Amino acid sequence: QVQLVESGGGPVQAGGSLRLSCAASGYSVARHCMAWLRQAPDTGRDRVALISGDGVTSYADDVKGRFTISKDNAKSTVYLQMNGLKPEDTAMYYCAAAGNSWCLPSMNFYNYWGQGTQVTVSS
């Protein structure tokens, strides 16, 4: 059974940093695409960052240069380091896993989802 458990969210002031973690069980982050997505109130779920099985990363334009996705294969954990946070980054952040090693931005590509962790950035 695949489980994804996010942690690390919380309140933070604008300009601050947070590091989100996604611990995967029953699933190999080393061989599959992993993603961080976010959903603000009354909006759809949007891609934030992707990391393929072989470590290739991609980012949404509005987080490039501020956020970094990484993974520790030995710990089966994926991270999202968020620096220079802005109020518009406020959202529920979700970890998702795909059945392929390569990534696509479509929400339908991801088979497994965590419960999410809330990030709230105040100005």
Which pLDDT belongs to residue 109?
92
C-beta neighbour count of 55 within 10 angstroms:
11
**How many angstroms separate the most distant Cα atoms in the chain?**
40
d(CA 29, CA 72): 8
| pLDDT tens digits for range 72-104 | 999 999 999 999 999 999 999 999 999 999 999
| pLDDT tens digits for range 28-58 | 899 999 999 999 988 999 999 999 999 999 9
